[in-house]
Structure 1
């Protein structure tokens, strides 16, 4: 009997041992992608924010009706097809059997709910502003009617703010929805530790087939150097926004690859045009003459970027290469300041977020302003605090960037300069000009390419004259990856999909 009991006990131990071994093997087989980005998401509600760190996470969780491919062509996504009934009316046929993360099937009612909610948001309503009515024709057919023709309409439906929501989930979570997102995307939110990391898990019911990666850890790593160290030690598989000073370090590592793309970004110095003395166009122009952007490009971004002549990046429809940038001329800057009776009287604050590159830019700007008699201090704020403070119009001078996510000049100009746009949505200079408003509205309401190009050219000339901001340079998008990361492509829009990645 004792022998029999011993045999049973031994067998039990063997089963436990085998079970433990299988568990370990399972864990080892789990494909986990560790990604670093420089700032945390502000919200995962597409209608609550319009910033890059948030959008970079949201596009993994949600889908839009249509997508933009690498050649800037519109391609199907949740909508399997669509047709233009008239210049102001579109009909979209939804794919059937698409499931949200909560098990609900995507229906036309979710699309209607999404865009009606989007239109009520001051942060993103401008993106689909011409929408007048959204109708549910059937469970899988949606009709969108515009108040006027809108040439970049389909591109704006691919914007991160146009990602499709589940009506039931939004209503159930109410004010907490931004921390409890439900989409149809390849990944779903598993955990979010604010300021530390966001964990996404694979959606096994994804309508395009499940992703090859089981889990994504998106880690918040503010220090650019630490993002590179993480790559070198193997703690990270990918680092978004490699600082220019670290580029050669990544390139020289045999286990790493640096991916670069010119993209559609523009970094700038902006003014709060409501605050004295920056409500004076002449002072803004004087500062423009004081700033040598070539010093910034050489010393800070180490030539990983090109001098900007316009708020519209090269490669975007509507970019006007004939616009001449305001050239560095400190003597003229001093003369203008003296003529305004403000010689050695201007003191200001330069705001930037906690980004090493932007902080270095602010330091060079501070030095260049001092050369023309302007005293300034630098304040570096956490990303969320920076966005909230500028939305409340508390700033004076800011160092910031704007990414074009549609490939059309409307998105470089309308959200940034049109009076109808809320400061939280991009108009952080609080700039207003009725002629700019009219030109931008006219360009939106026609599909005639020549008329649109002419309007955008005139707007770029006016912006150069009024100087609500100073375009500094067009940056390159730099992403460092481990060689084991396969099938990853940089998006010129600046929001990179992880869906096709294999490890």
Structure 2
């Protein structure tokens, strides 16, 4: 047993030793509980991966520390008609290999994002055509008016057409099929940093791009991003000074990190909502004791699961107060959130039992629940609590908790009956969640791409399209609330909570805490002693 423990810790020890060997005044060492699964910015629509990859790649439209829109690879944008946006591209920008950035790269990127293997299709599913006007001007024509197009583009990273063609990387890395290419392990973006070394699930070394077009406000010349899955080991590394930044800080260790002389916790609300999804499409539920039918097609069963979950106990005992229970798939800070609608159904075990009996399952049933154990704050423990709650209504949950490296490919294939997911609207607008999580899935267009349980209400779909083009705020907000009410009434998903952010940092480090949990390296400063 001791030998196995030493072997399990070996990658962490190696990573920390390696970080120490390259440490300098302007080297910043960051540890996370999980790794970016790929360096391909179109292969997985996950905030950690987009945050990490976004240091090497850039979008047309960027975000500042307060999440305001700012020019990035586009210097200006405007609507030239209700369905056409024109983007003026930044000149004299080069990719890391020296290739000039032009409109051809933008047209190529948008096609790549819309194509086979892309996990970012939902961002461009309303696009009709992307066309080059001249070498540094592009137009994006949408199927219907899309007022939030600039916000949508903040997470669509531009890649070099020439580099992708030369390296056989014209298609994204497909996480569902385990297909890899050069873009999995190497970067060639226009961003402020470039990947010097890549050891998946161990460490990735970023170095400053000497020819970056913009200003790098921080002074980190090298950033060593490492994976330390053990919360205790991660905290110990921060307290000892072996790492400079860690995320997340376990809720039980926040006070300890704050009381240490050289460290502190940056904390604040996060825009991410954690929820549970259920397969509502298959005629027979997979991985369950129910044969010949799917209990999740019955609203009474979905509502029974909802009312059997003691969210207040999870907030108190699992999250230690660092969460906000929610009834909606978005939280405060996102446009379209409504306090009036954000009221959960009551926790009521007896009511849940009656619903199960009325649906024909008085003795419950058995099923598998899929859950990550290294992606969200206390994700594995939350799923354990949910499983214990559901046992009270005679539902036996076989919990399958695993690293996100195997978890995400599985659930993205919809190879699941009951699963956990969390979502931060990249546009900070309800339309994003409606389009990606609640629309009827359409693999061709990318609509409902992350609606992994295939919840479907055509009326909600119709409203989502209208919301995307409506310019009158009052009318738009009313339609958002109508769409959310349909989802609430259907019990389309089981929303749990918005988790709180907690970054542990050495006091010599300055960096802004962004509510979307992105950590751009260009804003990190190592203060002089």
Report the TM-score, using the length of structure 1 for normalisation: 0.90
**CA deviation after TM superposition for structure 1 residue 431, in Å:** 1.4
Distance 1:124 1:369 in 2: 34
**CA deviation after TM superposition for structure 1 residue 251, in Å:** 1.3
Aligned-residue RMSD, C-alpha: 1.9
**CA deviation after TM superposition for structure 1 residue 270, in Å:** 1.8
Question: 1:119 matched to which residue of 2?
Answer: 114
Q: Deviations over 1:47-88 (max 9, x none)?
A: 221112211211111111111234443211111222221222
1:285 and 2:313 are equivalent in the alignment: no
**CA deviation after TM superposition for structure 1 residue 425, in Å:** 3.9
Secondary structure at the counterpart of residue 198 of structure 1: strand
Q: Do the aligned residues in 2 keep the contact of 1:63 with 1:78 (CA within 8 Å)? A: yes
Secondary structure at the counterpart of residue 103 of structure 1: coil
Q: Deviations over 1:332-369 (max 9, x none)?
A: 00011112221224111221112371111111111111
Question: 1:392 matched to which residue of 2?
Answer: 413
**CA deviation after TM superposition for structure 1 residue 29, in Å:** 4.8
Aligned match for 1:220, one of 193, 211, 227: 227
**CA deviation after TM superposition for structure 1 residue 102, in Å:** 0.8
| Counterparts of residues 199-238 of structure 1 (less than 5 Å) | 199-210=205-216, 212-238=219-245
Q: Deviations over 1:16-51 (max 9, x none)?
A: xxxxxxxxxx97756211111121212222222111
Distance 1:398 1:501 in 2: 35
Q: Do the aligned residues in 1 keep the contact of 2:298 with 2:359 (CA within 8 Å)? A: no
Q: Do the aligned residues in 2 keep the contact of 1:405 with 1:494 (CA within 8 Å)? A: no
Aligned match for 1:77, one of 58, 67, 72: 72
Distance 1:296 1:57 in 2: 30
Unaligned runs of 5+ in 1: 1-25
Q: Do the aligned residues in 1 keep the contact of 2:277 with 2:418 (CA within 8 Å)? A: yes
Secondary structure at the counterpart of residue 191 of structure 2: coil
Distance 1:219 1:78 in 2: 29
1:302 and 2:320 are equivalent in the alignment: yes
Secondary structure at the counterpart of residue 207 of structure 2: strand
Distance 2:300 2:389 in 1: 17
Secondary structure at the counterpart of residue 53 of structure 1: helix
Question: 2:266 matched to which residue of 1?
Answer: 259
Question: 1:163 matched to which residue of 2?
Answer: 157
1:322 and 2:346 are equivalent in the alignment: no
Q: Deviations over 1:222-278 (max 9, x none)?
A: 222222111011111101121211211111112111111212110112212233222
| Counterparts of residues 20-99 of structure 1 (less than 5 Å) | 29=24, 31-99=26-94
Distance 1:425 1:478 in 2: 29
Distance 1:226 1:289 in 2: 37
Q: Do the aligned residues in 2 keep the contact of 1:352 with 1:386 (CA within 8 Å)? A: yes
Q: Deviations over 1:79-110 (max 9, x none)?
A: 12222212221222222111111111111111
Distance 2:142 2:354 in 1: 50
Q: Do the aligned residues in 1 keep the contact of 2:42 with 2:157 (CA within 8 Å)? A: no
Question: 2:516 matched to which residue of 1?
Answer: 493
Secondary structure at the counterpart of residue 476 of structure 1: strand
Distance 1:468 1:227 in 2: 37
**CA deviation after TM superposition for structure 1 residue 312, in Å:** 1.4
Question: 2:361 matched to which residue of 1?
Answer: 342
Unaligned runs of 5+ in 2: 1-20, 169-180, 286-293
| Counterparts of residues 360-439 of structure 1 (less than 5 Å) | 360-420=381-441, 422=443, 425-439=449-463
**CA deviation after TM superposition for structure 1 residue 394, in Å:** 2.0
Secondary structure at the counterpart of residue 263 of structure 1: strand
Q: Which moved more, 1:422-431 or 1:237-246?
A: 422-431
